[in-house]
Amino acid sequence: MEKDRILIKNGHIISPADGLDRTGDILIEDGLIAGIGPAAETNGFEGRLIDAGGCYVSPGFVDVHTHFRDPGQTEKEDIHSGSLAAAAGGYTTVVCMANTIPAVDSPETLGLIKEKAEKEAVHVLQCVCVTKARKGYALTDFEALLKAGAAGFTDDGSPLENPALAEEAMKKAAALGAVLSFHEEDPRYIGTAGINEGAVSAEMRLKGADRLAEIRMVERDLSLAMKTGCRIDIQHVSAAETVELIRRAKNKDEKGLIHAEATPNHFSLTEEAVRKYGSLAKINPPLRTEEDRAALIEGLKDGTIDLIATDHAPHTLSDKNKDFPDCMSGITGLETAFSLGLQNLVNPGHLSLSALITLMSVNPAGLYSLDAGYIRIGHPADIVIFTRDEDTLYERFHGKSDNTPFKGQRLAGKIIHTISGGEVVY
């Protein structure tokens, strides 16, 4: 089916991968970028005209860490509602995690998800399990799953505790050129998950998640990645010590094997949020101290942390409305991520707007070698149009769940349009 022609006029185009940072026009035809120029004649133009004057135009955002709960827990989120949330947040591509019910450990389950995903307006990719049923005992069939269209491998939500199995997985992934993403929390150092072992947990008379839970596993996996030549993604970094470990490893990493994520939750909030928001601030790994938050920001500034990923984790109100030790961990994030990046990274002067787009689009696309993360003639028209001059009041959400401490808050920036594959989807 032929897609509409779209002409985006007068926008400030920022595409770091292409060296674009200027006002201009973009012509879209049949889902692809057909032209980029300083000005285009609009008289007689047949198609949709979008006046982006006063707005920025950038590559659509790419999230390498999201949970759509489909199959198995679709009362929280499904592929369709998750895609709507993604589009509202400026995301044109998302990579879903494998901790569904059943877990995505077979070509058959992966095929069912891909069939649903093909109907959505944004690009929905799916990671598959490292181990069968995410149990940590036996590896899945990497070759068969890649052939079936897996984006990468992760047991996210569960750490890979067995070091011998972790090394075997890395060797296999390295041979196949696949990415492994790791949830780094050693359960031996965790009492109550989702809260930092510190001042707030002590007030609540809880033994929380000690920072050593993350530090010890990251130490192991950085070493194994360098030993095996496997490309890895350290997910949702939370501790200052972890940032320094990754920094040192990257200084020795000549092949670009090591990648790391920061979530907007972790660079925006600290453990103090648990006092104010209770279970809405419960997340794995937990929000830690202001010193940790500052270290994450420094890591984003110097490239130690090269990805911003949402860890979008929808839950029902009944999942959250329980005593803190018993409630589910997780915060939704697709719709608020850009605003939090703008408000807590760009506006205070930590990062330029171009650097934020690199972290939210260019680098995530590069991790999975996607045809995304740039505005380039002949390539897919995956674009977000936004303004810094307006704020957004986050009251109503497009996903099924709104388990976020940012509900009801007014945050910086506003997504105006999201265009995915040449179609205006938001």
The pLDDT value recorded for residue 41 is 58
Q: Same domain for 116 and 233?
A: yes
Q: Is the model's pLDDT at 43 over the cut of 70?
A: no
Check: pTM over 0.95? Answer yes or no: yes
Residues known to be catalytic: 311
Lowest mean pLDDT among 4-8, 88-92, 162-166, 294-298: 4-8
Residues 6 or more apart in contact with residue 315 via CB below 8 angstroms: 76, 328, 330, 401, 403
Determine the average pLDDT of the residues in 53-71: 98
For the stretch 65-112, pLDDT in tens is 999 999 999 999 999 999 999 999 999 999 999 999 999 999 999 999
The pLDDT value recorded for residue 4 is 80
Look at residue 123 and give its three-state secondary structure: strand
Domain CATH number, residue 319: 3.20.20.140
Q: Same domain for 230 and 260?
A: yes
Tokens of 411: 């945050």
Q: Same domain for 286 and 387?
A: no
- pLDDT grade, residue 1 (50/70/90)? very low
Phi and psi at 71, nearest 5°, equal -90, 165
Percent of the chain at pLDDT exceeding 70: 98
Q: Is the model's pLDDT at 2 over the cut of 70?
A: no
For the stretch 148-205, pLDDT in tens is 999 999 999 999 999 999 999 999 999 999 999 999 999 999 999 999 999 999 999 9
In a domain, 121, yes or no: yes
Q: Same domain for 84 and 186?
A: yes
- Identify the DSSP state of 338: H
Q: Same domain for 19 and 113?
A: no
The mean predicted confidence, pLDDT, of the chain is 96
Domain count across the chain: 2
Burial of 241 (0-12, 13-18, 19+ CB in 10 A): middle
The pLDDT value recorded for residue 40 is 58
Determine the average pLDDT of the residues in 29-45: 81
In a domain, 34, yes or no: yes
Look at residue 179 and give its three-state secondary structure: strand
Strand pairing category for 32-37 and 20-29: antiparallel
Q: Same domain for 144 and 50?
A: no
In a domain, 23, yes or no: yes
The pLDDT value recorded for residue 45 is 80
Q: Same domain for 92 and 208?
A: yes
Domain CATH number, residue 408: 2.30.40.10
The pLDDT value recorded for residue 262 is 98
Q: Same domain for 169 and 49?
A: no
The beta-strand segments (E) located in 84-172 are 91-96, 123-126, 153-154
Domain that holds residue 18: 6-57+378-424
Determine the average pLDDT of the residues in 39-54: 81
Q: Same domain for 73 and 25?
A: no
* Helices 212-228 + 163-176 axis angle, to 10: 40
In a domain, 1, yes or no: no
In a domain, 130, yes or no: yes
- With residues binned 3-state (H G I as helix, E B as strand, rest as coil), the percentages for the chain, rounded to 5, are 35, 25, 40
In a domain, 28, yes or no: yes
Q: Same domain for 271 and 346?
A: yes
Q: Same domain for 39 and 158?
A: no
In a domain, 279, yes or no: yes
Q: Same domain for 51 and 72?
A: no
Name the domain boundary from 319, 334, 367. 367
- pLDDT grade, residue 300 (50/70/90)? very high
